[in-house]
Structure 1
Amino acid sequence: MYFLLLLLGLTGAAIAHHSVNERAASTYWYQSIKHDGLGSSKTYVVYRNVKDYGAKGDAITDDSAAIQKAINTVDGSSTAIRSGAGLTGQPAVVYFPPGTYLLNSGLKNIMGTVMMGDPTSRPILKAGAGFKDNILLIGQQGAGGLDTFFHEIKNLVLDSTAVPPAKSILLLQFSVSQACQLSNVMFNMPIGATGHIGVQTAGQVMPLLMNDLQFFGGAVGYSAVALQLQLKNWYFKNVDTAIKVGDTLTQVTGQGLRFEGCRIGLDATSGGSGHFSLIDSTATNTSTVVSAAASTSMQGSMVLENVIVDSSTVKIAETTVLTGSVQPGSTWIRGNIYSGDSSTATPNYSNGTKITTSRPMALVNGTGHYYTVAPPTYEEYDISNVINVKDVASYKVAGDGQIDDTESLQAIINAAAGKQVLFFPHGTYILTDTLFIPPGSRLIGEAWSTFSAYGSKFKDPKNLRAMIKIGNPGDVGVAQMTDFLFTTSDFLPGAVLVEINMAGDKPGNVSGFNCHFLITGASTASCKTPAACTTARLCAHFTASSSAYWENSWATGQSGGSATPGAAGGFLIEAVNGTWILGLGTEHHDLYQLNINNAKNVFLGLEQGESPYWQGSGNTVVNPAPWTNALLPSDPDFDWCAASDVQCRMALYQKISGSSNINLYGGAFWNFRSGPMQTICSSDCQTNAVLYENNTQMYSYGISTINDKNLVMESGVRGNSHAITVTQAANSGDPLAGFPQDKPAICAGYFRQS
């Protein structure tokens, strides 16, 4: 898919059903800290407190116009409106202090905007009794789609309890794609309401993760249509239908969902949905935890694992097929199943069967659930313990996309480690050498504060150098990064944007939240040969000594529709002590999108991948070129392909080699365009999607592809080398709405237990 080139800058709270009349005064540091982020001009205002724009938050005054003004305004002195797409240089944080903000008309967000409330006392956006629209908040620019990036909504309560229960009202339309966040938001609706819906995603959208949400009352909690998505730690109470799946949803992982007092937990009766994995979830006083349509193909495939219920049932076409819980140690699968031991590509289709499975002890808590962590807000810190990195007298930090900030930032980070939280106002911080993040570090950005690599030290593809280096091997402790963007300001084939070496002393203490990689290099006009266009070596490297938790991350390795090479690889995982990755999007990297190499104990909640546009039909630079002379031992060399077979030599979405105790719950791998002319694919634009080599105790659920001839190729099965074990033809379903030429193929389960 095409995406807009964004260089922002210059180039679980606990569940509580709060009363709307009881809001505490704010002590949150973010409201008090100095906000001096840089935008498109010296007068541009990044941070906007809605009360500075006339909002009252008194539950009486209509605050609709004031809040929309805070979203729209270019700067503090003019009445100009931010550009329609909220593009380069026009990010904004629209901040809500505690209070109840009455709305008589709906709001609309703009691209590049963070709508953020005080997490210590979440503000309420409350539809009035006379609310005149049908949507309380349109959470994205335009109607939504594949180019809808960089929208963020967190720490808010959306409330429709004053609206008549039969009126049709949607609290949040969130039709977005990657690099977006919906986190720590409550949706409060009347119990028994027939027309109220909490969240809806619609159209051709690719969100990665929505996390730590709560739903009370209403007809539907979440109305879901999307190409891929992970839902983490959602709570539904007294909602008629918690989740209603549309007929064009392709790949979803639901982790840590709690259904309480609902009629239906998951309604997948529309019949055209792809794959849904429901794990680590519970249902109490809920009649039906899952209701699905009849199917004899990959459509409507499903995985249930560690789903604990009281008396709930699973129904297919109104026939009960499962009663009671799916306890740890087993997995219930519906769809095409491959044991990984077969030498043929013939699946075993099941309408619902249990298999014996395992989870690595290193990845689970005392109840057998995979560890999850809420994104930190550092609300426990007083303002005196939070430092604005641009407000340290001893060290000048510019964040202007021009001045080298490496030395000053290193000194500030070293001094703050283990003592203070570091706040990075929005801007672009140029780094000409490695920035080391020592144990004890807590870094938080603002509207995707950007670290950008530049200079000769990152040029050598045979001598890789990290831009951000998190700890040294053997280090144990805390190193957290939240709300950042990593990029390059030059063609830097030796750059590893983030290298993680240290381990957390508990899961989540070494972590990245809502951190994205947008590798752009410089002007494509300076590309004279393919090798000159290589922009970076890797987005992220989790080394063998690391143990880290990474949540909601988009890593794209190519500039928009560029017909030239970009970055060699997306994420390289070589850790052995526990790695958790939730909501990962890796796109357009030359060799692979995700590489798990000689690793152990890896949990992957969802991976979305997409091929580089420049590869494929008509391409004259075939993999592993232009990286042939600088391959790492972990890199694929594509020696299983004929030398001139451009479709076989396209980047792998996922390569897993020599690894054990690997548990994967969603793979959404797409190929829409191919070759230098970016021809729209009709079918089989790419030969192979996934390569598995010599792995043990590996479980992969919901492998989804579009326009890939083979889903899985495996080596090491009884001596086989690069055998095709899962084909599109054996797993193909109906055409995808909006892409009528494309037929998704979905394998429900592929596992190797020995």
Structure 2
Amino acid sequence: MRFVSALLAVASVVSTVKGYWLGDIPHQGFAPFAGSPNYPVFRNVRDYGARGDGVTDDTAAINAAINAGNPCNKNCVSTTMTPALVYFPAGTYLISKSVFPAYFTQLIGDAANPPTLKATANFAGFGLIDGNPYYTENLNWKSVNVFFRQVRNFVLDTTAIAPGTPATGMHWPTSQATSLQNIVFNMPATADVVHVGLFIEEGSGGFITDLTFNGGATGASIGNQQYTMRNLKFNNCKTAIIQLWDWGWTYHGLSINNCQVGIDISAGGSSKIDTGSVTLIDSSFTNVPVAVLTAWTTTSSPATAGSLVLENIALTNCPIAVKGPSGTLLAGGTTTIPAWSNGHRYTPAGPVQSAGPITPNSRPASLLAPSGQYFTRSKPQYESLGASSFLSARSFGARGDASTDDTAALQSAINAAAAQGKVLFLDYGLYRVTSTLKVPPGSKIVGESYPVILSSGAFFNDVNNPQPVLQVGNQCGQKGQVELSDFVVGTQGAQEGAVCVEWNLLSDAGAPSGMWDVHVRIGGYTGTQQQVAQCLKTPGNGAVKGGCVVAYMAMHVTKKAGGLYMENVWLWTADHDIDEAANTQITIFSGRGLYIESETGPFWLWGTGSEHHVLYQYQLANTRNIFMGQIQTETPYYQPMPNALTPFAPVAALNDPDFAVACAGVEGNCAAAWGLRVLNSQDVLVYGAGLYSFFSDYSTSCSTFSAGQTCQQRITSIEGTANNVNIYNLNTIGTREMLTRNGARVAWFADNVNTFASNVAVYKSS
């Protein structure tokens, strides 16, 4: 009987835990503007006929799952109205043509047993997964407007295709709020192989993590405005990475093994270099003859193009660390490179054109893993949990229809999940809330295809009494840990006092809280009442239209908070209407971007962006212990009509910039939003920054070198004390003074001409 009981117990466990929880839980996501109450947000490819047996051609079934409900695909500009999460259980899915994910669609495999997409020998297509097809000579979607997409947990296998036949694992020209995670690219490893794992030719990204490339001619052939990539492994590729072009790129945790060339940034040649800048940290090269191949020389063109910064790079049997057109720039061997750069340096004065060792950044211990590298943690996918460990928001009565007041239902769901030690599954929907949602310590919240928490009503519409929409930690400095992933916080209608996210929680530096793919998206989509119909742009008219002041601040980290890890977080005030056929520009006003005033830290910002806020995009005040990897900003397109004096008055308690005072006597368009402002802070380490000002009153004529980069006068400010405040590869566009210190100019755009931006490879505050 005991034996039988044991068998029954095992059978019970097997029947309960069928597979990855995402495929087992009930799915109740509701897309209120998709056109049908039965629109399927969640799709399991097996339900559409895919077999995953490695024998059946599953191409048609997979694309049928993607296209169910008529999502935004061919001949569609963009949308938020037809979200989709397409799930692949474990198995081998044979495909003979490309898989085409639609706009606002996620492809997610079983995280515990990633499925394989295996190409047939006669495969036809540009990528097993083609994220932006060429139906004509142009990409289907304008690459700089491809947002809110994910692919994770797959093996992409091209080994059945003849090595000498061109093949690509994934084609991925996309932009902000997109991510790739946990993908293996398997390619032939023969002398005649011409396969490429990942191909990106343009866009404005983005974040990628945890990819492995085996074999192939090139692991990743990539070009984009800016990117953060970490934990990429390359084994037995001819060339691990070909950098086609960029303005700024940050790599962390690369492991390049048995490749002939590690990173090739020589595109264009020394007379016209195409790579703007590369920041490479905490990485290793093993049995690689040339780690980095560059076209840079002291006389190459443009003056700062090909800027390269290395820090903490381990070499094993790597004869040449950096090779230029005339030979070795930096010798290799079996050694560790503490820090080295080529390009323009300001330490703190400059520019000095140089190639050679630099003093590595002094790294605070609280920012580091035990290895001495910067701490990282990939988005949790809860592989070990079964379906019973998840609670559904809609099961607590939340409607997600953008009109019902879901405050009480959502709060009940959040509280119940935290109290029971479970994960709250935020089924897709637009959840309207009329008072603050409070996230207690111990909470874990996971969204389904970017559901939205949408503030609305008078509670959030008093500019003199701002209120948080999502408050993490009920009191400033409350201790505990929270994990948030895959959802959006936004506002509906006039919301002059809405602070989209307020972070009060203090987490242990060794076990920080995290935000992964959590975005603030203010305006420009259906349900917000902040679209073309309400807030159409008015060039030449600086009046503030009623109802178009829509947020007080995107995110506020308060004084006693700390221990927060942020990865691929985009704090975006919309510049255009995503759901309008022409992507027409709009003018809406959000006061502030990300404000960190924590007294202790630590904070990790991997691949974050903050755009189009009135006063600043990033402001750090009286804080310390902050890592920033390839931050990206854009100034509001309407400024200076009106300028940053309107409509938000500076608040001294928030250390707001007072442009009326700071701009006295300063030439040019001074009263424009700061990209990055650092006040009285220490141990702020920026590993790549793209701070852009493309427009002046909606005209781009100001953003070129020939026009004098006159969109705004200043964009980066370091004020007060600044101990160990350092920036690698600062790239600015449309701005004359790249960096100021206590109001005085440090770096001038014309001294630091790069491909399209101006670049300073190394800035040290002291």
Q: Is TM (by shorter chain) over 0.5?
A: yes
Structure 1 120/209 Cα, relative in aligned 2: closer, same or farther at 3 Å?
Answer: same
Alpha-carbon shift at residue 674 of structure 1 (Å): 1.7
AA matched with 2:623: A
Residue pairs, 1:25-44, within 5 angstroms: 27-39=19-31, 40=34, 41-44=36-39
Structure 2: unaligned runs, 5 residues or longer = 1-16, 134-139, 268-272, 536-542, 577-583
Q: In 2, distance between residues paired with 1:671 and 1:382?
A: 47
Structure 1 751/398 Cα, relative in aligned 2: closer, same or farther at 3 Å?
Answer: same
Of 74, 93, 100 in structure 2, the residue corresponding to residue 108 of structure 1 is 100
AA matched with 2:669: Q
Aligned to 2:43: 48
AA matched with 1:549: Y
Q: How many residues align?
A: 700
Matched, 1:201 2:200: yes
Aligned to 1:686: 712
Match of 2:46, SS state, is helix
Aligned to 1:412: 413
Q: Is the 8 A contact 1:623 1:637 kept in 2?
A: no
Match of 1:225, SS state, is strand
Match of 1:413, SS state, is helix
Aligned to 1:3: none
Q: In 1, distance between residues paired with 2:657 and 2:390?
A: 44
Q: Is the 8 A contact 1:277 1:702 kept in 2?
A: yes
Alpha-carbon shift at residue 276 of structure 1 (Å): 0.5
Matched, 1:548 2:564: yes
Q: In 2, distance between residues paired with 1:636 and 1:693?
A: 11
Match of 2:169, SS state, is strand
AA matched with 2:408: E
Q: Is the 8 A contact 1:507 1:549 kept in 2?
A: no
Q: In 2, distance between residues paired with 1:532 and 1:676?
A: 21
Deviations 1:607-637 (A, max 9, x none): 1111101103xx2x32222112656532111
Q: In 1, distance between residues paired with 2:448 and 2:169?
A: 25
Aligned to 1:332: 340
Match of 1:131, SS state, is strand
Q: In 1, distance between residues paired with 2:440 and 2:75?
A: 39
Structure 1 288/139 Cα, relative in aligned 2: closer, same or farther at 3 Å?
Answer: same
Aligned to 1:216: 214
Q: In 1, distance between residues paired with 2:341 and 2:702?
A: 34
Of 254, 273, 276 in structure 2, the residue corresponding to residue 274 of structure 1 is 276
Aligned to 2:262: 265
Q: In 2, distance between residues paired with 1:123 and 1:659?
A: 46
Q: In 2, distance between residues paired with 1:333 and 1:303?
A: 4
Q: In 2, distance between residues paired with 1:194 and 1:676?
A: 47
Of 377, 380, 386 in structure 2, the residue corresponding to residue 376 of structure 1 is 380
Matched, 1:298 2:291: no
Q: In 1, distance between residues paired with 2:517 and 2:510?
A: 17
Matched, 1:441 2:443: yes
Q: In 1, distance between residues paired with 2:416 and 2:276?
A: 50
Match of 2:64, SS state, is helix
Aligned to 2:324: 316
Q: Is the 8 A contact 2:274 2:306 kept in 1?
A: yes
Aligned to 1:349: 353
Of 222, 226, 229 in structure 2, the residue corresponding to residue 228 of structure 1 is 226
AA matched with 1:132: A
Matched, 1:358 2:374: no
Q: Is the 8 A contact 1:519 1:559 kept in 2?
A: no
Q: Is the 8 A contact 2:92 2:117 kept in 1?
A: yes
Q: In 1, distance between residues paired with 2:731 and 2:458?
A: 40
Q: In 1, distance between residues paired with 2:698 and 2:280?
A: 40
Matched, 1:671 2:693: yes
Alpha-carbon shift at residue 397 of structure 1 (Å): 1.2
Q: In 1, distance between residues paired with 2:366 and 2:389?
A: 33
AA matched with 2:305: Q
Deviates more, 1:561-570 or 1:347-356: 561-570
AA matched with 1:321: L
Match of 1:606, SS state, is strand
Structure 1 712/487 Cα, relative in aligned 2: closer, same or farther at 3 Å?
Answer: same
Structure 1 144/182 Cα, relative in aligned 2: closer, same or farther at 3 Å?
Answer: farther
Aligned to 1:473: 476
Aligned to 1:387: 391
Of 596, 607, 611 in structure 2, the residue corresponding to residue 583 of structure 1 is 607
Structure 1 698/657 Cα, relative in aligned 2: closer, same or farther at 3 Å?
Answer: same
Q: In 2, distance between residues paired with 1:594 and 1:269?
A: 33
Of 615, 633, 637 in structure 2, the residue corresponding to residue 613 of structure 1 is 637
Of 161, 168, 171 in structure 2, the residue corresponding to residue 170 of structure 1 is 168
Q: Is the 8 A contact 1:613 1:673 kept in 2?
A: yes
Structure 1 80/241 Cα, relative in aligned 2: closer, same or farther at 3 Å?
Answer: closer
Q: Give the aligned CA root-mean-square deviation in angstroms.
A: 2.2
Aligned to 2:516: 513
Aligned to 2:657: 636
> TM-score, normalising length from structure 2?
0.88
Match of 1:416, SS state, is helix
Aligned to 1:738: none
Match of 1:70, SS state, is helix
AA matched with 2:499: V
Of 480, 492, 498 in structure 1, the residue corresponding to residue 501 of structure 2 is 498
Aligned to 2:573: 557
Match of 1:71, SS state, is helix
Aligned to 2:740: 713
Deviations 1:434-475 (A, max 9, x none): 111111100000110111111111112222211111113232
Match of 2:618, SS state, is strand
Q: In 1, distance between residues paired with 2:574 and 2:357?
A: 42
> TM-score, normalising length from structure 1?
0.89
Matched, 1:732 2:753: yes
Q: Is the 8 A contact 2:549 2:588 kept in 1?
A: yes
Q: In 1, distance between residues paired with 2:546 and 2:40?
A: 40
Q: In 2, distance between residues paired with 1:749 and 1:55?
A: 52
AA matched with 1:476: K
Match of 1:68, SS state, is helix
Deviations 1:200-220 (A, max 9, x none): 1113x1112111111111111
Q: In 1, distance between residues paired with 2:652 and 2:93?
A: 56
Matched, 1:538 2:548: no
Match of 2:447, SS state, is strand
Deviations 1:26-75 (A, max 9, x none): 52111111111112121111111111111111111111111111111217
Deviations 1:418-438 (A, max 9, x none): 510110111111111111111
Alpha-carbon shift at residue 132 of structure 1 (Å): 2.5
Q: Is the 8 A contact 1:108 1:138 kept in 2?
A: yes
Deviations 1:300-358 (A, max 9, x none): 00110011111322212252222348988942111100012x3xxx4011123322431
Structure 1 361/83 Cα, relative in aligned 2: closer, same or farther at 3 Å?
Answer: same
Deviations 1:451-509 (A, max 9, x none): 11111111122222111111132322221111001110122121111111112235564
Q: In 1, distance between residues paired with 2:515 and 2:335?
A: 31
**Percentage of pairs with the same residue:** 33
Q: Is the 8 A contact 1:704 1:744 kept in 2?
A: yes
Aligned to 2:240: 242
Structure 1 354/182 Cα, relative in aligned 2: closer, same or farther at 3 Å?
Answer: same
Deviations 1:505-564 (A, max 9, x none): 355641110111111153465567357522101111122222200000111124416563
Deviates more, 1:346-355 or 1:624-633: 624-633
